[in-house]
C-alpha cells in the first residue's frame, strides 16, 4: 500500500531531526516525544511568534511564568480535582479503551457492522448502536462497557512525608476494612502530601490576578499571557504530538468589563484565526467551529475552536479536523471561584466611575505542540519539478518566521577559497542572529533539495563570480528562482527579507 501523507511526515520528522520517539533506545514511551535539532527550532519559532504577536507588539497584554506545581486548593477551586475527568469506555469486542466524548456518533438503535475481535480477517458481525449514541472508534462495535470517570491530573507528593511508609504502617488496619473505607483511608494518607502537575496554565493567571493588577501596569481590558508545560494523563493518545500527556500551552486570559465581553470574544476569535493565516497556514485547511450548546463547559458563555484539517488516517481515508486552539468566554466564573476558596476579593475598582466589578475573561488557549504539528503538516509538499524525468521534490514551505534554518550557505566547489568565503557569509549571518547552516558536501542541486526538505527559505552560493565581482547567488525555496546580490551587506539583506515576510 502506498505510504500516506502522515506516514511520510512522520518519516521525514525523524530522518531530518524534527521529532523523535522519547527514550527510543529503550523501546520508546507511549505518546512521549522529543524535539530534535530542527524540531526545537521550529517549536521555539512558533512560541516566539505567539509571544511576539500576543505580548510584545501589544500594550494591553503582559506575561507571566508560573510554577507547574501549585497549591492543591487551586485545583479544588477550579473544579479540576472533582471534575477534570474523561468518560472512559471499554470495547468488549476489540478491547480498546477510549473516551466516550470523542467516539464516532451513530443513531441509537441503528445497525453497526464490525469485525470479530476488531481483526481485519475477523468474522463480519452485525450489532446495534447502544443508547449512548456512539460506537467503538477502532472496530465500530456497539458492545461497550458503561462509562467511568478517570481523573486526568498527574498526582505526586511534595515535602518530607513519605506516603508509601504511611501506607505500609496502615496495612494491618486496612485489611479489616471494606473497599470503600480502604479507599477513604488511602486517600487521606496520600492526600496529606498530594500535589498535582498543572493540567493547564490558565489557573496561574487567575490566582495572580491581584498581583498583576497591583504591580501597576494594567487595567481592564488587559491580558495576561503564559507559555509553558501542562500535563494530562490522557487515555487516548494518537497521531504523533497531537495528543500527548506532556505538552506545552500558549494561553492568555483577557480581563474585561462585563457587558463588553461579547465584543472582545468576537475580536479574539478573529484575531487568533487570522494569526494562523498570517503564518502561512492554508486557509482551506483552517476553520472556526463554534461549540454547540451541549459541548459548552457549564461556566462558558460561548466557545469556538480554531480547527486544522490534519492529514491523519482514519477509516474514511485521509484527513480529519482537529482542534488547534479554543477561544472561550469564561465569564467571571474563575475569579469568583478563587475568591470563594481563597477568601480574597478578586475584583477591580474603577476609580473614575467608582465602580467595582469582577471582570469577565476571554481566553484564547492554544497548544504549542499541536500548532507546531499543524505547521509541519501544512508546510509539507511534494512538487513535480519535471514530469518526464519523474523529478519530484519534497519541500516544507514554512513561513520564514517559522523556518528552523533561515539561510543555507554553500561554496559551489571545495576549492579556490570558496569554502572560506562561504563560511564567512555564514558567520556574518549567525552574528546577526539569523540561523544559518553551512554545507559543502555533494552536488549543488542535491544540497538545494536537502534544504527544501527542511524548509530553508533561502540558499546562498559562493561561486566563481563571487571571486570576480563579489556577488553571490540567492536561491528561493518556493520558486527555485536564483538572483545575484552583492556579498557586501548580506546580513542587512536577510534582516530585511525576514522583516518584510511578516507582511
Ligand atoms: P481536546 O478536546 O482535544 O482534548 P481540550 O479542549 O481539552 O482539547 P483545552 O483544555 O482547551 O483543550 O487546551 C487548550 C489547547 O491545549 C488545545 O486546543 C490544544 O491545542 C492543547 N492541548 C490540550 N490537550 C492536549 C494534549 N493532550 N496534547 C497536546 N496538546 C493539547
Mean pLDDT value across the chain: 93
User: Which secondary structure element, helix H or strand E, spans residue 276, and what is its range?
Assistant: helix 261-278
Write the residue with the smallest CA distance to atom 19 of ligand 1. 367
Which pTM value belongs to this model? Answer: 0.89
**Predicted local distance difference test score (pLDDT) of residue 245:** 93
**Predicted local distance difference test score (pLDDT) of residue 192:** 85
Report the alpha-carbon distance of residue 95 to residue 98 in Å, rounded.
10
Atom of ligand 1 nearest to the CA of 365: 14
Mutate to test the pocket of ligand 1, among 237, 370, 372 (most ligand atoms within 8 A of CB): 370
d(CA 244, ligand 1 centre) in Å: 9
Helix residue spans in 308-367 (DSSP H): 333-342
C-beta of 272 in contact with ligand 1 (< 6 A): no
**Predicted local distance difference test score (pLDDT) of residue 79:** 85
C-beta of 323 in contact with ligand 1 (< 6 A): yes
Mutate to test the pocket of ligand 1, among 87, 236, 243, 250 (most ligand atoms within 8 A of CB): 243
d(CA 430, ligand 1 centre) in Å: 36
End-to-end CA distance of the chain: 42
How far, in whole angstroms, is CA 46 from its chain's centroid? 10
pLDDT at 263 over 80: yes
C-beta of 365 in contact with ligand 1 (< 6 A): yes
Q: Of 83-92, 148-157, 172-181, 468-477, where does mean pLDDT reach its minimum?
A: 83-92
At residue 343, φ and ψ (nearest 5 deg) are 75, 10
Report the alpha-carbon distance of residue 308 to residue 85 in Å, rounded.
25
Specify whether the CB–CB gap between 88 and 235 falls below 8 A: yes
Q: Of 60-69, 95-104, 263-272, 397-406, where does mean pLDDT reach its minimum?
A: 95-104
110-146 per-position pLDDT tens digit: 999 999 888 778 899 999 999 989 999 889 999 998 8
23-46 per-position pLDDT tens digit: 999 999 988 999 999 999 999 999
Atom of ligand 1 nearest to the CA of 251: 14
d(CA 148, ligand 1 centre) in Å: 21
309-337 per-position pLDDT tens digit: 999 987 778 899 999 999 999 999 999 99
Count other Cβ atoms within 10 Å, centred on residue 205: 24
Atom of ligand 1 nearest to the CA of 243: 28
Write the residue with the smallest CA distance to atom 21 of ligand 1. 367
Q: Of 72-81, 259-268, 428-437, 448-457, where does mean pLDDT reach its minimum?
A: 72-81
pLDDT at 459 over 90: yes
C-alpha cell at 23: 527514550
**Predicted local distance difference test score (pLDDT) of residue 360:** 98
**Predicted local distance difference test score (pLDDT) of residue 1:** 54
d(CA 231, ligand 1 centre) in Å: 10
d(CA 367, ligand 1 centre) in Å: 6
468-488 per-position pLDDT tens digit: 999 999 999 999 999 999 999
C-alpha cell at 212: 498583576
- What's 441-499 look like in SS3? CCCHHHHHHHHHHCCCCEEEEECHHHHHHCEEEEEECCCCCEEEEECCCHHHHHHHHHH
* More confident call, 47 vs 149: 47
Report the alpha-carbon distance of residue 377 to residue 9 in Å, rounded.
7
C-alpha cell at 503: 507582511
| Average pLDDT of the residues in 138-165 | 86
203-245 per-position pLDDT tens digit: 999 999 999 999 977 999 999 999 999 999 887 667 899 999 9
Amino acid at each position: 500500500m502506498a505510504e500516506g501523507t502522515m506516514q511520510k511526515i512522520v518519516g521525514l520528522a525523524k530522518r531530518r531531526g524534527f521529532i523523535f520517539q522519547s527514550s527510543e533506545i529503550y523501546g520508546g514511551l507511549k505518546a512521549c516525544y522529543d524535539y530534535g535539532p530542527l524540531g526545537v527550532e521550529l517549536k521555539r519559532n512558533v512560541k516566539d511568534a505567539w509571544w511576539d504577536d500576543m505580548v510584545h507588539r501589544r500594550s494591553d497584554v503582559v506575561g507571566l511564568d508560573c510554577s507547574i506545581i501549585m497549591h492543591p486548593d487551586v485545583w479544588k477551586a477550579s473544579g479540576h480535582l472533582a471534575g477534570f475527568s474523561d468518560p472512559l469506555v471499554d470495547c468488549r469486542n476489540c478491547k480498546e479503551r477510549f473516551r466516550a466524548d470523542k467516539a464516532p456518533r451513530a443513531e441509537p438503535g441503528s445497525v453497526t457492522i464490525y469485525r470479530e475481535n476488531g481483526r481485519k480477517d475477523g468474522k463480519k458481525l452485525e450489532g446495534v448502536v447502544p443508547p449512548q449514541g456512539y460506537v467503538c472508534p477502532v472496530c465500530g462495535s456497539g458492545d461497550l462497557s458503561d462509562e467511568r470517570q478517570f481523573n486526568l491530573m498527574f498526582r505526586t507528593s511534595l515535602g518530607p512525608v513519605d506516603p508509601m511508609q504511611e501506607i505500609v504502617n496502615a496495612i494491618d488496619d486496612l485489611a479489616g476494612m471494606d473497599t470503600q473505607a480502604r479507599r477513604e483511608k488511602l486517600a487521606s494518607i496520600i492526600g496529606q502530601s498530594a500535589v498535582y502537575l498543572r493540567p493547564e496554565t490558565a489557573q496561574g493567571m487567575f490566582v495572580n490576578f491581584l498581583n498583576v493588577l497591583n504591580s501597576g501596569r494594567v487595567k481592564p481590558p488587559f491580558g495576561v499571557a503564559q507559555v509553558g508545560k501542562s500535563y494530562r494523563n490522557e487515555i487516548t493518545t494518537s497521531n504523533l504530538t497531537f495528543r500527548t500527556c506532556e505538552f506545552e500551552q500558549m494561553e492568555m486570559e483577557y480581563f474585561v468589563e462585563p457587558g463588553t465581553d461579547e465584543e472582545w470574544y468576537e475580536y479574539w476569535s478573529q484575531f487568533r484565526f487570522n494569526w494562523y493565516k498570517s503564518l502561512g497556514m492554508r486557509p482551506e485547511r483552517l476553520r472556526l467551529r463554534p461549540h454547540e450548546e451541549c459541548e459548552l463547559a457549564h461556566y462558558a458563555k460561548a466557545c469556538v475552536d480554531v480547527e486544522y484539517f490534519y492529514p491523519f488516517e482514519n477509516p474514511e481515508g485521509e484527513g480529519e479536523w482537529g482542534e488547534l486552539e479554543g477561544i472561550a468566554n469564561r465569564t467571571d466564573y474563575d475569579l469568583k471561584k478563587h475568591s470563594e476558596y481563597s477568601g480574597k476579593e478578586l475584583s477591580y475598582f474603577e476609580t473614575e466611575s467608582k465602580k467595582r466589578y469582577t471582570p469577565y475573561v476571554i481566553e484564547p488557549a492554544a497548544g504549542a505542540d499541536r500548532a507546531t504539528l499543524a505547521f509541519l503538516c501544512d508546510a509539507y509538499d511534494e512538487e513535480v519539478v519535471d514530469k518526464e524525468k519523474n523529478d519530484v521534490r519534497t519541500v516544507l514551505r514554512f513561513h520564514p518566521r517559522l523556518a528552523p534554518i533561515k539561510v543555507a550557505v554553500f561554496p559551489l566547489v571545495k576549492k579556490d577559497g570558496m569554502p572560506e568565503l562561504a563560511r564567512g557569509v555564514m558567520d556574518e549571518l549567525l552574528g546577526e542572529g539569523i540561523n544559518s547552516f553551512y554545507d559543502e558536501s555533494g552536488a549543488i542541486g542535491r544540497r538545494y533539495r536537502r534544504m527544501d526538505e527542511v524548509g530553508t527559505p533561502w540558499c546562498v552560493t559562493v561561486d566563481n563570480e563571487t571571486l570576480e565581482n563579489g556577488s553571490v547567488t540567492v536561491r528561493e525555496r518556493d520558486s527555485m528562482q536564483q538572483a545575484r546580490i552583492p556579498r557586501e551587506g548580506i546580513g542587512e539583506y536577510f534582516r530585511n527579507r525576514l522583516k518584510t515576510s511578516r507582511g
